[in-house]
Amino acid sequence: MEAWQKPVKCLGIACSPRTKGNTTALLEKALEGAREAGAETELLALGRFKFAPCIACNGCFTEGQCVVPDDMQVIYQKLLEADRIIIAAPIFSMGLCAQAKAVVDRGQRFWATKHILKRPVIDQNSLLAARRGIFISCAGSDLPDVFSGAERVVRYYFKMLEVEYLGSYLYRQVDEVGAIHRRPEALQEIFQAGKDLASK
């Protein structure tokens, strides 16, 4: 198969510690939509990986590589190889859950590549040059600003990763495990969003 015929690689990161939780259920639907549009998909559940938060050692300032030898190294590789990225993370304490925030902070190596080393994160001549992503989240409350902090951080993360942010799919008043299954319109919307993401 020629390189230009390769299917779009769509990576979904399930950040919730609840493996059968609401954001993961939405992510599974989005990936189903992406597959329908011909994408090759992978769901990466953070709970299966062991990694530390960023320790601010500045080790990444030298070569743009993180020097902490843990499972984040595997996650970095997948993030760099993906054409489409979906971050699915619940709201904990008015922000991203800690698992998601740890991934974002460990993205400091991408920030260092761009801003300290002044190099591109993604080779602009590669097929991955046009990367795109969306954010999925759920919150138990219906506070108007409940997603604003998390959304801001995800936008920043996509920028670091050289991923064009296409939008967020945010669901309020979704709390206990399985609650999202009582919202068929949300599942339908996210299926379509996954399909559109893979088609664009």
Nearer to ligand FMN, 22 or 41 (CB): 22
CB of 116 to ligand FMN, least distance (A): 34
Rounded CA separation 123/177 (Å): 41
Rounded CA separation 80/47 (Å): 20
Nearer to ligand FMN, 24 or 108 (CB): 24
Nearer to ligand FMN, 59 or 140 (CB): 140
Nearer to ligand FMN, 123 or 176 (CB): 176
Phi and psi at 77, nearest 5°, equal -60, -45
Rounded CA separation 165/84 (Å): 10
Residue whose CB is nearest to ligand FMN in the complex, by number: 21
CB of 134 to ligand FMN, least distance (A): 16
CB of 105 to ligand FMN, least distance (A): 18
Q: What is the binding site for ligand FMN (CB under 6 A)?
A: 16, 18, 21-24, 90-94, 138-141, 146, 174-175, 177
Element (H, E) at 152: helix 148-160
138 near 176, Cβ under 8 Å?
no
**Residues facing 164 on adjacent strands:** 132
62 near 54, Cβ under 8 Å?
no
CB of 183 to ligand FMN, least distance (A): 11
Q: Which two tokens stand for residue 152?
A: 């801001």
Nearer to ligand FMN, 97 or 160 (CB): 97
CB of 29 to ligand FMN, least distance (A): 13
Element (H, E) at 128: none
